[in-house]
Structure 1
Amino acid sequence: MKRGAGPLALTTGEVPPRRPNYFLFGFVGALGVLSAWILVQAVIEVRAVLVYILVALFLAVGLNPAVEGLRRRLHMPRWAAILAMCLALILFAVVFVWAIVPPLTAQVTSFVTHLPQTLGQLQENPFFADLDERYDVVDRVQAALADADFGSQLFGGLVGVGQVVFNALFATFTVLILTLFFMASLHGILDLIYRLVPRSNRDGVREIGDEIVQRIGAFIAGQLIVAAISGTVAFLFIWAIGSAYALTLALVVGVTALIPLVGTTIGALAASLVVAVSDPWLGVAALVFFLVWQQIESYVVSPRVMRQAVDVSPTANITAALVGGTLMGLVGALLAIPTAAALTIVLTKVVFPRLDRR
């Protein structure tokens, strides 16, 4: 008889229960928590790279219909169509920078050069003269300009702005290169994803995946068309009122129109503010015009263009854009609506039919 085994254990053949090893449980649990923490920290460290990859993949999927259209209509090989699309993107970026940087540099230089004259003219204004008498505004500005630390602070600010510009250019170049690679290997990436699904479900998953890719491409194409229309309308109006920055402001309005929900408003306010600097009444007229155009775009142009692109309710669009913007900023707002469309397709074709069969 083994020590510790009673008569009942001998007659029934039962083995006495073993006490759990709490140290082993705690050690394994601690290792799991540590591994999860390390994984989260690794994701946080490479979050910028993950955002670049996500944006590039999104652009590759969105530009794929344009690449296929060039390949079919012009009988171009796929690599030539991809190269043409990338050259078009680079050309637009060059034109945008060329239209923005010189006027901005000229305005800043003119402001700094005429600052003393502007202060002198403001002193002749009764309201500003009374304000200056109470709070010594002119003396404070002149003292700040004459301060020895002003130059170093200004230089530090310019260095910070330069770093921001460099980071933006680096991010743009990285996304462009990744987009080029993703467009070249898009079919291979999709086939690899589909092969991860069991053969019995592969055809259904392929059908849903192809529809999601088609919807994302239609969404991007629709957004580009709406942005082009908004930029063209803005250019014609600003050119008609005689502004010297018609092309610059039209590009700003067109680019900001790509931002869901608030993009048109941001572009309208920016353009109206620039026009109002030279002529306040024209600025007011521009603001009224853009408010009217925003209503036309929201209720006439955009619904017609986006009718076949994204079949998502307006409530879901707004919610998705707000959530995406909160989580990932501008990138999240841009990706939120097609993501909501993809989830809608999955719910409609997979989840709801299975629930109805139960």
Structure 2
Amino acid sequence: MDVKGAVPIGGQPVEQVVNVRRPRSVIAFACWFALGVGVAYLGFVIVEKLRTIVYLLAFSLLIGVTLDPLIGFLQRRGMRRSAAALLTWLGVVVLLATPFVLAVDAATTQLPALIKSVPELIRNAESHLGVLGDRLAAVTDAPARGSVNPTEVLDYVLTGGALLFTAVTDIVVVAFLSLYFAIELPHLRQLALKAVPASRQVRTARILDELIVLVGRFMLSTVAIAILVGLSTALWALAWGIPYPVLLGALVTVLSLVPVIGSTVGGAVVTLVALTVGLPTAIITLIFYISYRMAEDYLIQPRMMKYSVELPGVITVPSVILGGAMLGVPGALFGVPMALILRVLVRELVFPATDQA
């Protein structure tokens, strides 16, 4: 309201009256700010309490988006969306269940032997390290406990059973939720577009479709690379007599789902296990993983990413590290997809706005 030329009220200028009312606006602003902070904190607490559910929904949605390129391929061949999604989902379940069944079988048959042979494996590794092995032997030769507490054993068994039940339940929930998201992804897309003003729906639809395609193709490439490095690990361990090749291959496959860091950690684990066979075997295994890493970075990954999207290492590595630091393993898995989303949003929204400014 313009106060110039206004009639004084009660002998005081209007400007003085406005000045008297300013503290009320500050108080109102403080109240609204406190309310906003309270709502944000309440939302944070709710998300923290429901973190497991949020993770399951996020994993399921990511799997549904990952399957979307394969479903679209089958749809272009004349199949209905539901049939294509179900067929793709069943194929992925079989593909993922096979290495897990092999890993579980290897664990049940080889893990007891591995536990019994741990002291011998440690002694073999120490014997191949010379002076460093003697120092490690002095540390590891601590006196063993004289008796086993049955209460602790029962507690470990119950805790392990509870964790196994929770893991199986989460896997089943994620599996069926991913099937739902794979079938209903177009409907969810339309529902999301309804929340956008009509004048911006065309541009939003284009950005959303690009995000779905990029994330889906990137995740498919990541899974293919992880399966390749896991299979290579199992064959390498089998060829060089490294113990537990199937178990190591499954472990490296799971670790390689985390971009950049996962395969490196898996290679380090396999190299340490190879040390139990002999120092030359460990050195050759280390050279193998370094060579494979270079081949993956310069040959395999560029060819795979040619069909998806290529992110520079200056974005990929910090995304994985930052996601892992904030949310652990789930954050590391979601780090690169979130970087992809931010990259598209910055290119489509921020850059055009700065060019018009």
TM-score range, shorter chain: 0.7 to 0.9
Please say if residues 99 and 250 of structure 2, whose CA atoms lie closer than 8 Å, have aligned partners that are also in contact: yes
**Residues 195, 241 of structure 1: alpha-carbon distance in 2 compared, 3 angstrom cutoff:** same
Map Cα deviations across residues 59-88 of structure 1 (whole Å, 9 max, x no partner): 111210011223334x43222222222223
| 1:98 paired to 2:97 | no
| 1:38 paired to 2:42 | yes
Map Cα deviations across residues 165-188 of structure 1 (whole Å, 9 max, x no partner): 332222222211211111111001
After TM superposition, the structure 1 stretch with the greater mean CA deviation from structure 2, 206-215 or 110-119, is 110-119
Larger Rg: 1
Aligned twin of 2:304? 305
User: Which structure 2 residues correspond to residues 49-128 of structure 1 after superposition, within 5 A?
Assistant: 49-73=53-77, 75-110=78-113
After TM superposition, the structure 1 stretch with the greater mean CA deviation from structure 2, 296-305 or 102-111, is 102-111
SS of residue paired to 1:187: helix
SS of residue paired to 1:188: helix
In 1, the alpha carbon distance for the partners of 2:335 and 2:148 equals 48
Aligned twin of 1:147? 147
Aligned twin of 2:4? none
- The size of the alignment, in residue pairs, is 343
TM-score, normalised by the number of residues in structure 2: 0.81
Aligned twin of 1:232? 231
In 2, the alpha carbon distance for the partners of 1:120 and 1:249 equals 20
Calculate percent identity across the aligned residue pairs: 24
| 1:189 paired to 2:192 | no
Please say if residues 85 and 182 of structure 2, whose CA atoms lie closer than 8 Å, have aligned partners that are also in contact: yes
Please say if residues 268 and 287 of structure 1, whose CA atoms lie closer than 8 Å, have aligned partners that are also in contact: yes
In 1, the alpha carbon distance for the partners of 2:103 and 2:279 equals 22
User: Which structure 2 residues correspond to residues 126-165 of structure 1 after superposition, within 5 A?
Assistant: 137=141, 140-141=143-144, 144=145, 146-149=146-149, 151-165=150-164
Aligned twin of 1:256? 255
In 2, the alpha carbon distance for the partners of 1:257 and 1:353 equals 36
TM-score, normalised by the number of residues in structure 1: 0.80
In 1, the alpha carbon distance for the partners of 2:67 and 2:233 equals 25
In 2, the alpha carbon distance for the partners of 1:9 and 1:303 equals 76
**Residues 220, 117 of structure 1: alpha-carbon distance in 2 compared, 3 angstrom cutoff:** closer
Letter in structure 2 aligned against 1:172 = I
After TM superposition, the structure 1 stretch with the greater mean CA deviation from structure 2, 291-300 or 178-187, is 291-300
Please say if residues 67 and 89 of structure 2, whose CA atoms lie closer than 8 Å, have aligned partners that are also in contact: no
Aligned twin of 1:199? 198
In 2, the alpha carbon distance for the partners of 1:77 and 1:243 equals 47
| 1:357 paired to 2:356 | yes
User: Which structure 2 residues correspond to residues 284-303 of structure 1 after superposition, within 5 A?
Assistant: 284-303=283-302
User: Which structure 2 residues correspond to residues 319-334 of structure 1 after superposition, within 5 A?
Assistant: 319-334=318-333
Gap runs ≥5 in structure 2: 1-7, 125-130
Map Cα deviations across residues 281-317 of structure 1 (whole Å, 9 max, x no partner): 4333223212221111122211221134224332122
In 2, the alpha carbon distance for the partners of 1:217 and 1:325 equals 21
In 2, the alpha carbon distance for the partners of 1:259 and 1:33 equals 35
In 1, the alpha carbon distance for the partners of 2:318 and 2:224 equals 23
Letter in structure 2 aligned against 1:37 = Y
In the TM superposition, residue 214 of structure 1 has moved relative to its aligned partner by 0.9
CA RMSD between the two structures: 3.8
